[in-house]
Structure formats: structure tokens, C-alpha cells
Amino acid sequence: MESNPFAVLSLIVAPAILTNATSVLIMSTSNRLARGVDRAREISKQLEGTNEFSGEEPQRRLRELAAAEQRTLLLLQSLRSFYVALGGFASAAFVSLLGAVLAPVEVEKVVLVLEIAGVATGLIAVSAMVNGSLLLLRETRIAVRVINERAATVRERVARGRHFATEGDANL
């Protein structure tokens, strides 16, 4: 390891900053998960209140419930990845700090093991953070797809309403 104090500082600060970033991702993903669960409950209540499932509206709600379920599962997997990342970054910061403290004592084998462990836990943490982010992207695509389907349904209803109003106006 270099004798440059900034090298040691960067080995400790980088995981600490990434730990903070991962914590923010965990908080926002937890909020998304809670909103997804609430949405799934709302759709379930709407479906439980009907006995007819062959119409267009119940089928749309069933598709939305399936999408809500898929979204919550992706968000849960994402949270798991972010928690692994959080633990990895915290471990990397601790191991780096421990290695920096032991380096002047000249316990070379221990310092080498700590360097390898710090890099390994950092790599695991970065991989977990990237995985969690990719899962969030997949979840977002599902959310946007559901919104697009709902918007198309509303536009279709509005267009039919205008069409019916136009026919009614012609008969007046």
C-alpha cells in the first residue's frame, strides 16, 4: 500500500459515501414497496367486491393485480440486493480502516488479507447495488406499462363518449 495518506482516506471514504447512497436507495425502495402493497390491496378489494370477472373492467383489474404482484416481488428482491450492498460497503469501510491502522505496525500478511477482503467486499457491494438498480428499472417498466394501458383505456372511453355525443347531436 502507498504511504500517501489520501490513498488510505479514499479507501475508507468511498465505501462510506456508497453506504450513504445505498441507504437512500433502501429508503426510497421501501416507500415504493409500501405503495405497491397498498395498490395491490386496493385492487384486491375492488375485485373481491364483484362477482363478474368476464367483463373488460374486471379483466383490466386482474392484469393490474398481476402487475402489482410482480412489481412488489421485484422491489423485494431489489431491497435484498441493497441490504447486501449496505453490509458490503460498511464491511469494506471497516476492513479498510483496520488495514490502515495495522499497516504501520508492519504486519504484512494481515494487511494483505485485509486489503483483499476490503476489495472483495467492495466488489460484492457494488455488484449488489448494480443488481438492485437493474431490478428497480424492471419494476419501473412494469409501472409505466400499467399506466400506459390505463391511459389508453381512458382515451378509448373518451373517444367513444365523443362518438356517441356526435351521433346524438346529429339526431337532434
In this structure, are residues 2 and 109 in contact, taking their beta carbons and an 8 Å threshold?
Answer: no
In this structure, are residues 82 and 26 in contact, taking their beta carbons and an 8 Å threshold?
Answer: yes
Closest to 153 in 3D by CA, of 61, 40, 69, 90 = 61
Residue 6 has what pLDDT? 65
CA distance 73 to 67: 10
pTM: 0.79
Residue 22 has what pLDDT? 94
CA distance 87 to 77: 16
pLDDT in tens, the chain (172 residues): 456 666 666 767 787 788 899 999 999 999 999 999 999 999 999 888 888 778 888 888 899 999 999 999 999 999 999 999 999 999 988 888 888 888 788 788 888 898 899 889 999 999 999 999 999 999 999 999 999 999 998 898 898 886 554 444 444 4
Assign residue 106 a region (left: φ > 0; alpha: ψ between -120 and 50; beta: otherwise).
left
State how many domains the chain has.
1
**Full domain range(s) for residue 17:** 5-171
Q: How many CA atoms lie within 13 A of 169 on its CB side?
A: 6
